[in-house]
Structure 1
């Protein structure tokens, strides 16, 4: 009987997100019908855009990769009782650190690439560490300080690029040296020149690292304990202030790595930006959709990145305007996030099925 209940519960836990996605797509279909568009053609164009060719599959993976990093950054902070809304700024600082090393230094590839990656990660970690320090030592709310540092990071990055890394009259940095780039040439050729890079594999490794740090180490236990109850953690002899700073720095490293691979693996330079890339704010949605768990973040990144990249197919293939495309994406995300609504809809069916299972 217990085994049957366990199997049933596992199936039910998988059923909720599947039904959520289906409901979101149905609401999106209704919106398209109301606008006079063919939802079947639109969705087929979306899926064709995502998996229709090796190039599109590669580009979909490329779009998913930064969301894994920023989702992990937000989720890690959440798990330790902090709301890191400054992932956007840490992402930008990671880009800047990697670009500085990639443009100004000329080293062998086995030193240059890893050094650029490590530098960008450190830049992101330090930028987040400032937020942690202000909270630990001065009691400044991390939401306020981190969101303000987003703008500081943007303008500081633009200053660094324009002052030290650009040629006169240019709006982007000089090209990063070949020895620092993180492209996987054989895989790029295999995927019809899609921008595949080592960041995807590093992101998957970070999913595992996230889990190991938080649930398989003493430090992870302290991080979670401080997040759940700082007073109890202090009473138990833990250094709460140091743990807060450490948590934010690890979160910032994840975010910084996302920025690193955008410049080293995708663009090969850094532009003077009028606005932030937006991956940090998307990471908040990804973390929430993934329940702040590493595997959940990975799956939410695949969903969010696939919808974002595939939406162009709906526009070109079915003529659906961007406004309706956003309704479709928003509907899917809403139902995936609103587990309570989906469970309420499924409750009568699940109750009947549970009774049949128990009777069997």
Structure 2
């Protein structure tokens, strides 16, 4: 069945473009795509309706020898349930953003390093930082891999690989800066007061303070906290199984038995058992509530994920070793924890008699 959609793209100069995307799908599989960009919405809609009528009447022809554009690969990727189910929220957002960029119009076999560099320059001009642009480049390379492995197109990643040196030298891309932010005791107390007030005012009662304390003490990500289940609780060991824990080398099936220390067990036990999940709340709602209260309090540069670092830091300060902390945080690579440890105790060697 043929359909069209209009996607608006705001440019850096304040003007807008409207991309009309034609797609023919059968049982969820994209068979044909076509697109055209306009400066006004009405002409884009008129062209879309006209092409739909033509395709329904005359069908469509696609030259198999002509490879698709990067945008068409994006459409095929998101339409493939086997691939789409493995894509995280942040990556999906980046993929869709790329679909609205000029680089999406380039055929995958015609992609050059210059195209990649120009895309990054355009993103920089719009105010995007080097670490975020670096994600764009990684996703472009990933899409080229998918085009070859899943859709059997003969295409190389060479354009991206050859662009890297110039991208780094021109400061267009950079690795993400390692964060060291920890909330102060005063900030945590202010957050608890603000979160308690928000919790009591909302119809859907979310125990924000319990979630805050549990996130710190368990060193879990907010998504992990909101996924743990009562039937995964190990009463004997005062632990809980965290399923599909994030791991760059293993996307699924990474289950870990995590000990609940320092009061986390008591917080878990006092939760009502009226749902299969211990904290049956949408992780986005929890994070959004935290962010709103944080902003109202004027607390700068503090993210929910920083609570995980706070928890790890507290365990080190209590005397736990790196491998013991890793059992709680789930880090497979202890280099990250080693950095946390050395930042906490930079002068530890001075205490030793060398």
Instruction: Mark yes or no: TM-score above 0.5.
Output: no
Larger strand proportion, structure 1 or 2? Answer: 2
Q: Identify, as 1 or 2, the structure richer in helix.
A: 1
**TM-score, length basis structure 1:** 0.22
Q: TM-score, normalised by structure 2?
A: 0.22
Higher relative contact order (CA 8 A, sep 6+): 1
